[in-house]
Structure 1
Amino acid sequence: MAIRHGRYWALAAASVVVVVYGSAQTTGALWRDEVAVAGGTLNSGTLDIKVGPDGAEVDDYVLAALGSTNLGPNGSSQAPLSIRNAGDVPFDYRLQGSTVTGAVPLTLTATLVSTVGDCPAVGAPTGPVTVLYTGNAQGAQTLDTRALAPGANEVWCFHVAVGADPPQDQTSTVSFSFRADQA
């Protein structure tokens, strides 16, 4: 009789293993999904933002005109920067951020102008202008995006200013980074 009870326990244990294994198989099937998609076209493109002088834009550009040696108290410097969509898809872009290295605190004003000539080295920007940012040069960013079609460009006029009491014999450098996202 003891052998009979052992067989029943073995059969019961085998049944539990089959039930557990079968349940795991069924649960795994619940995570699968398929969807048929009607015919369509998938396109790819190139998103490429370039900065620098018209016709010679690059990925990294040193805006040497934005700065000066011996910039004294209440002094300022201003220079244009051309931004172009060199890709073949439209994108939205913005000033992602800026970093100031050095001891001279700077304020920044970024203005959108029509042409490079509308951002003179001295004086206010001319023509139709849109102020995009004004404030501390450290951590500057624009929250609103600008749209650029493939091949189109815009000109930003950057103006940096030193306060009334800058530290003596010190320098600062400003780096700008832009972000572009496919429109």
Structure 2
Amino acid sequence: MPKRLKAAIAAAVLLVLFMSAQGTAALWRAEAQLELGIIKTGTLSLAAGNGTVSSQTYVFKELNTSTLAPGRFVQAPLTISNTGNVELRYTLNGAVSAAPTPGEADAALAAAVELSVHAVAKASDCGVDTPSPGAALYQGPLGAAAAFAAPRNLAAEASGREILCVRVALPNNALQTAAGGSLALQLSFRAEQLRGGQQ
């Protein structure tokens, strides 16, 4: 085979290889321009209070357990407010006695009492001796597992509030070891943002 023909064939093969490589590189290259939207975050915030004053660490002075006696109950209204700007759902997330140095009588009292929480239309529906209307959101002993049967929804900001009637009762058959005990009720609530269409 003449040298020229061999050189022409070799050049043609190199040209084909070179063009194939160029075609491959073009297949891997792509560009696109994206229009970025605006991302905004919301504020998730839940507070408790008496209808006038509220905070995330509210001291519930209105519920005075010092007058608690067997066969009796004490109760007071507690306002739960959505102080954020997103709709949320919340639930009771534990109810315990948080006495700083609990003695035997304190522990016996905490074990004997029954907590019930009701939703009411207005604070006066939860007066000193007023029976709580409707079904209880929670009714049972104190404990870290205390929770509402179903979460409650609250709208955002000003309209997002609910009045709860918190009742602590001491049954007639409470043990004598609970006499003289004190109760420092600590209610914890957990909230989460509602996603679109979630109920």
Q: Same fold (TM over 0.5)?
A: yes
1:133 to 138, 144, 147: 138
Could you say if the C-alpha distance between residues 136 and 110 of structure 1 is closer, same or farther in structure 2, counting changes exceeding 3 Å?
Answer: same
Deviation of the 1:143 alpha carbon? 4.3
Question: What residue identity is the alignment partner of 1:109?
Answer: S
Deviation of the 1:40 alpha carbon? 3.9
Report the equivalent of 2:42: 45
More strand by proportion, 1 or 2?
1
Report the equivalent of 1:178: 189
2:156 to 131, 137, 150: 150
Higher mean displacement: 83-92 or 167-176? 167-176
Cα RMSD (Å) of the superposition? Answer: 2.0
Count of residues paired in the alignment: 146
Contact map agreement 2:119 2:164 (CA 8 A) in 1? yes
Task: Report the secondary structure of 1:81's partner residue.
Answer: strand
Confirm whether residue 124 of structure 1 aligns to residue 131 of structure 2. Answer: yes
1:4-153 alignment runs, 5 A limit: 39-101=36-98, 102-103=106-107, 104=109, 105-126=112-133, 129-139=134-144, 140-151=146-157, 152-153=160-161
Structure 2 unaligned residues grouped into runs of 5+? 1-32, 99-105, 195-199
Structure 1 unaligned residues grouped into runs of 5+? 1-35
Contact map agreement 1:137 1:160 (CA 8 A) in 2? no
Could you say if the C-alpha distance between residues 82 and 73 of structure 1 is closer, same or farther in structure 2, counting changes exceeding 3 Å?
Answer: same
- Aligned-residue sequence identity (percent) comes to 29
Deviation of the 1:71 alpha carbon? 2.2
Deviation of the 1:141 alpha carbon? 1.3
Render the CA deviation track for 1:70-101: whole Å, top value 9, x for unaligned. Answer: 42211210011000111111111111111124
2-side partners of 1:57 and 1:37: how far apart? 45
Runs of 4+, deviation exceeding 6 Å: none
Deviation of the 1:41 alpha carbon? 3.9
Render the CA deviation track for 1:26-67: whole Å, top value 9, x for unaligned. Answer: xxxxxxxxxx98754422111111110223211111212222
More helix by proportion, 1 or 2?
2
2-side partners of 1:46 and 1:40: how far apart? 20
Larger radius of gyration between Structure 1 and Structure 2: 2
Contact map agreement 1:73 1:163 (CA 8 A) in 2? yes
Task: Report the secondary structure of 2:55's partner residue.
Answer: coil
Deviation of the 1:116 alpha carbon? 1.0
Q: What TM-score do you get using the length of structure 2 for normalisation?
A: 0.67
Q: What TM-score do you get using the length of structure 1 for normalisation?
A: 0.72
